Amino acid sequence: MEISTWSWIGFNAFVLAMLALDLGVFHRQSHVVRLREALAWSGVWIALAMAFNLGLYFTAGSKPALEFLTGYLIEKSLSVDNVFVFAVLFAAFRVPKHCEHKILFWGVFGALLTRAGMIFAGVALIQRFHWLIYVFGGFLVLTGLKMLQPNPKPADPEKHWVILLCRNLFRVAPMYHKDRFVIRQDGKLWATPLLLVLLLVETTDLIFAVDSIPAILAVSSEPFIVYTSNVFAMLGLRALYFALAGMMDRFRYLKYGLAGILAFVGTKMLLIDVAPIPIAVSLSVVVAILAASVIASLWRAKTEASSLSETFATKHDPEPLVVAVVPDGICREREITNCHRRTIV
C-alpha cells in the first residue's frame, strides 16, 4: 500500500484541527458534559471514522478498508476498559465533574503521541524480526485468559507509584484550583491534584496500549492503517467515557467479550504462517463477540431489574382499599349502604 507523505501530513493536520476545534471552541469553558452532548460527540467521531473508511475503500481498495474497520472496532472495544479505569480514578480523587473533560482531552493528546511511537516501533520490529509476531500473539492470548480471572481487590490510587513519585518531586497543593494543573503561591509553583490525576491517566493508558497495539498489529502491518484506526478510536474516547460513565454496571459481560477478542487476535497472530485467517473472517468474529457480550449484558441487567421490581412489589404490597361508588359516580361515606363496592389494589 503506497501512502504519500502528503497523506500523513493531511491526516495529522486534520487531527490537530479537530482537537483545536474541540478544546478551543466547543469546550473552551470547563463544564459538566451531559449525556446528550456525549452521545452527539460520539456520533460525530464515529461518523468521521466511517467517512474515512469509505474514502479508504474508494482510494485503496477493500482490503485496507476492512483492515481499518477491524482495527477500529478492536481498539474501540478495548478502550471501554480505559473508561472503567478512568471512572474509578475520578471517583477516588473526587475530581470535579466540570474538570473531567479537560483531563481526558490532554490525556488523549498525550496518548496519541506515545501510541504513535509504539505503533511505528512495533511495525518496524515485526518487519525486521518476524518471530516477534509469535511473542505478541502469545502475550495477547495470555492477557485474554488473565482477564477471565476474578477481579482482585482494587488498589488505593493514592499509593500508586506515579502519585508517590510526583509528591516527592513536586509541591502538591492540598485542593483543586478550578481546572488548573499548576498554580503559583508565595512565588513558588505548585502542582494541583488535577495534574496528578492527568499523569495517572497517561500512565494507565500507556499500560493499556501494551495490549491494544499488538492487537491491531494482528490485523494489519501497514503503519498508516494501524495509526489511523488507533487515532480515530482514541479521539472518540472522551465522548465514550461521558456516554458510558453512568451505566458501567450494565455491561458486566463486556469484560469476557474483550478477553475473547484478545484471545482471538492472539491466535490469529500465532497461526499467521500456518493457517492465516482472512480479514473478513476476523471482522465477523470481532463483531460477533462484541455484539454477544453487549446483548448478554443488557439482557442480564434487564432481567435483574425486573426481578428487583417484582421483589419490591411483593414486599410492599399495599392493603386493599375499599371505596364506595354510587350510581351517579360520586362517593359518599354516608350513602355507603346504597353503593356498589369495588376493591382497588
| pLDDT for position 312 | 59
Domain ranges of the chain: 5-151+212-315
- Encoded amino acid at 289, one letter: I
Q: How confident is the model at residue 333 (pLDDT cuts 50, 70, 90)?
A: very low
Mean pLDDT of the 59-67 span: 89
Does the pLDDT of residue 332 top 60, yes or no? no
Residue 117 CA to residue 112 CA, distance in Å, equals: 9
Q: How confident is the model at residue 345 (pLDDT cuts 50, 70, 90)?
A: very low
Yes or no: say if 239 and 257 are a contact pair by the CB < 8 Å rule.
no
Mean pLDDT of the 55-83 span: 87
Alpha-helix runs per DSSP H in the chain? 5-21, 35-60, 62-92, 100-128, 132-147, 161-169, 193-217, 223-235, 237-244, 254-270, 279-315
Mean pLDDT of the 305-332 span: 55
Does the pLDDT of residue 136 top 80, yes or no? yes
Mean pLDDT of the 307-335 span: 52
Does the pLDDT of residue 331 top 90, yes or no? no
| pLDDT for position 48 | 93
Between residues 18 and 152, which one has the greater pLDDT?
18
| Cα→Cα distances 62→67, 123, 336, Å | 9, 22, 80
Average pLDDT over the chain reads 80
Between residues 227 and 27, which one has the greater pLDDT?
227
- Encoded amino acid at 127, one letter: Q
Q: Among 127-141, 158-172, 194-208, 331-345, which stretch is predicted with the lowest mean pLDDT?
A: 331-345
pLDDT digits (tens, 9 = 90+) for 20-54: 887 666 666 667 777 788 888 888 899 999 999 99
Yes or no: say if 181 and 195 are a contact pair by the CB < 8 Å rule.
yes
Residue 195 CA to residue 107 CA, distance in Å, equals: 11
| pLDDT for position 247 | 67
Q: Among 58-67, 285-294, 303-312, which stretch is predicted with the lowest mean pLDDT?
A: 303-312
Mean pLDDT of the 6-22 span: 86
Q: How confident is the model at residue 344 (pLDDT cuts 50, 70, 90)?
A: very low
Q: Among 12-26, 71-85, 138-152, 240-254, which stretch is predicted with the lowest mean pLDDT?
A: 240-254
Mean pLDDT of the 56-71 span: 90
pLDDT digits (tens, 9 = 90+) for 262-293: 888 889 888 888 888 888 888 898 889 888 98
Give percent of the chain above pLDDT 90. 8
Give percent of the chain above pLDDT 70. 82
Mean pLDDT of the 5-10 span: 88
